[in-house]
Amino acid sequence: MKIGILALQGDFELHGRMLSTLSVDVAYIRKPDQLNSCNGLIIPGGESTTLTKLMRGAGLFDPIVSFAKNNPVFGTCAGLIVLATDLVNYNLDTLGLIDLSVERNAYGRQIDSFIDSVEFCIDGKTDFFEGVFIRAPKIVTIGENVKVLGTHDDNMVLVESEQVFVATFHPELTDDVRIHQYFVDKIRKSR
């Protein structure tokens, strides 16, 4: 199994380290043809406007949409924003791959970033995860085919649809591999 990580901006190398810890092969994606050898894709955080411009410039926008039809995609923070169908407080052309509305920078500016416990329920088990929220978005609404897996203070912070998995926080900034393990397992189940 090989997982691609969009490597145009953001903490893509930290996602790579998490996957290496799980003994998963990694490909850093900068060109469309690099997706061909991948079974899944991670779109990391960064700045959503810049990220979409870089994706368009690299010719990756439409290939990622096509890739997601048959392969799981995981987006964190700005990656979530880029995957959403709707932004409530900003005009941005997104990939539209998960039926949800999101608010950019919902918790405030960089100085308002924080770390706090996230409650998540996966495979019927409830547990807690350290959530690193950096200029984090908030999921405002979700479509009927989107399932909530994690919350923080009654806010949805970890959700999935059939092929797309997103987090408003940065699991790659912790030493806890469970969120990445869940994505790896999601890919295995889809194959």
Residue from 77, 152, 160, 180 carrying the catalytic annotation: 77
Q: Which residues contact 97 (CB under 8 A, 6 or more apart)?
A: 65, 68, 73, 83, 85, 163, 164
172 is catalytic: yes
- Please state whether beta strands 147-152 and 125-133 pair in parallel, antiparallel, or not at all (unpaired): unpaired
Beta partners for residue 151, in sequence order: 119, 156
Residue from 15, 152, 172, 180 carrying the catalytic annotation: 172
121 is catalytic: no
Tokens of 139: 């999921």
* Residue recorded with tokens 């996957």: 19
Angle between helix 178-190 and helix 12-21 axes, rounded to 10 deg: 80
Residue from 15, 152, 170, 180 carrying the catalytic annotation: 170
- The alpha helices in 58-191, defined as continuous H runs, are 61-67, 78-83, 178-190
Q: Which residues contact 184 (CB under 8 A, 6 or more apart)?
A: 1, 3, 19, 22, 24, 40
170 is catalytic: yes
Residues with active-site annotation: 77, 170, 172
